[in-house]
Chain A
Amino acid sequence: MIILENVSKIYKNGTKALNDFSLEIQDGEFVYIIGETGSGKSTLIKLLNGEEIPTKGRVIVNGTNVGRLRFGKVPLYRRKIGVVFQDYQLLKKKTVYDNIAFALEVINKPKEEVRNRVKEVLGIIDLANEFNSYPTQLSGGQQQRVVIGRAIANSPSILICDEPTGNLDPRHSKEIIELLEKINKSGTTVIVVTHDYVLVDTYKKRTILLDNGSIISDNPEGGYVHV
């Protein structure tokens, strides 16, 4: 469960990114966060990921007060959170298999466990036949699926996606959202930050609209609400 209590975030340069922001996301939910550039979406992801600490208020993720995490504990916390960015951030010199395995190797998972889990993940992202390909040999949609595969490799309870379809055409965007739905159905909380209002209207899920660091609307029925 994710709880943000009266969170404000003011950067060192004086930019107010979030303003007395409160939000609750239950386990297993699928939530869209939408809003214009500068509305506070990226800051929200950084707070959830432990990259930034709130200026005021509390960010509680699965019982952990993220803002109070000691520096050394942040990596351990991140192992429970999967993050996907718009720019694929894949290691070009590693194969699909190695890119996914990388996420498990750097947290010292045993080889056998890495092998089994990567096979499983390749099945989930439907890229079992491309395991030996390099990122440059894949389409944008396939690359984004590899990134999602890497993010879920360690079976996180929360998956945060920042504009996962930002660089994709409608067909590949649809594939990505369907993949995220599949992951969500297995019990993972999925948070998708997006600009793609068509997608939000097509695959209706709880939708939170941000503006100037505050929640303008929180629509549990889904779909883009014009305010």
Chain B
Amino acid sequence: MFMFRRIGRAFKEAWWGIRHHFAMVSSTAVTITITLVLLSVLSLLIANINQITYDVEEEIQVFVKIDKDVEEKDIDALKTKVGRIAGVSEVVYSDADSELTYFIEQYGEAGKIFEIYRNDNPLSRAFIISVATGFSISEVSKQIELIDGISEVNFGGATIEDFINLLDGTRRVGLIFTASLALLAIYLIYNTIKITIHSRREEIGIMRLVGATNSYIRVPLVLEGIFIGILGSIFPCLLTIFGYKYIYEVMNGQLVSGILKLIDVFPFTLYVSGFVMIVGIFVGWIGSWLSASRSLRWKR
């Protein structure tokens, strides 16, 4: 009963704070809304970049031609040697016959013309290598080239690496930008609560005088901050769900081509909007907690 009364009072006082400083609360909530909209956009973007990067990395393979002089019995030893290089996640051996089959399949019906080479196959045996991440592809290729028995190493070249680096750069800048915005929102809530404390200084002074504990004084102020955080996150949450759904439908679920697919709307947008709401609550909580703690500290 005591706890319920205390919680009820805290909510009542937090609501009082919001009503009495509505203009200040509104401007802070709007700023949080802007921050969270950007956070939402960045989250959607980063998640999709992650997905695309993953898809691209999945596709990345290094094609390694084996020297014709390498005897069949030495292939396993060579495979092990290649597999030991840092960054290599998988090595698949493909003999000359399989290579020709693959080559023919690439050209469909027209490719059948190359069947004539089945008995006198000019293609080399090869290793098809998967790498752990796209970043290591260039380094891995250089090291493979140095191994005896390897005649040629091929991968998508610098373009793939540049593309992955670009995606990663976008992800990093986005994260830094979002973190800066979150700090700004915390600062704004900090100031709003400071104003609430200032406008209630008489009441707080009397509370202290008659023996109210610091937590009793602090809880409604922190709740007020959390309310502002929730208020500020409502629009970004709705925008996350409906905005992404709209973009997904307009773009037909893909970016540029079918290889670069966007993440499905559900449950993805629910996760992102949940994350945005949690960030809103966290920002409200941390800003108001810091403000209340600082204002109430060191005063006996």
Contact = CB atoms under 8 A, between A and B. Distances in A.
Interface stretch (A76-84, A197-205, A218-226): A76-84
Contacts of B2: 108, 110
Given A51-B300, A71-B300, A108-B2, A102 B206 contact: yes
B211 interface: yes
A76 B216 CA distance: 12
Interface residues of B, number: 18
Given A50-B300, A108-B2, A108-B6, A72 B209 contact: no
A52 interface: yes
Interface in A134-150: 150
Given A91-B202, A108-B5, A79 B300 contact: no
B211 A76 contact: yes
B207 interface: yes
Nearest to A66: B300
A103 B208 CA distance: 10
Contacts of B267: none
A153 B6 CA distance: 20
B212 A106 contact: yes
Interface of B is mostly: helix
Contact of A89 (B202, B212, B213, B214): B202
B86 to A, nearest CB: 55
A53 B298 CA distance: 12
A212 B6 CA distance: 46
Contacts of A79: 210-211
A216 interface: no
Interface residues of A, number: 28
B211 A89 contact: no
Given A74-B300, A105-B9, A108-B2, A150 B210 contact: yes
A44 to B, nearest CB: 15
Given A50-B300, A108-B5, A89 B210 contact: no
Contacts of B203: 91
A105 B209 CA distance: 13
Interface string A87-114: 0010100000000001101111011000
B5 A106 contact: no
Contacts of A106: 207, 210-212, 216
A127 B5 CA distance: 28
B300 A52 contact: yes
Interface in B206-234: 206-214, 216
A188 interface: no
Interface string A53-72: 10000000000000000011
A75 interface: yes
Nearest to A76: B211
A83 B206 CA distance: 10
Contacts of A72: 213-214
A157 interface: no
A78 B206 contact: no
A75 B214 contact: yes
Interface in B182-220: 202-203, 205-214, 216
Contact of A107 (B205, B210, B300): B210
B202 A75 contact: no
Contacts of B9: 105
A154 interface: yes
A75 B213 contact: yes
Contacts of B213: 72, 75-76
Contact of A78 (B5, B205, B209, B216): B209
A78 B205 CA distance: 13
Interface of B: 2, 5-6, 9, 202-203, 205-214, 216, 300
14 contacts: A71-B300, A72-B214, A75-B211, A75-B212, A78-B209, A79-B211, A102-B210, A103-B206, A103-B210, A106-B211, A107-B210, A107-B211, A150-B206, A151-B210
The 9 closest A-B pairs by CB, nearest first: A79-B211, A78-B211, A106-B212, A103-B210, A75-B211, A75-B213, A106-B207, A74-B300, A51-B300
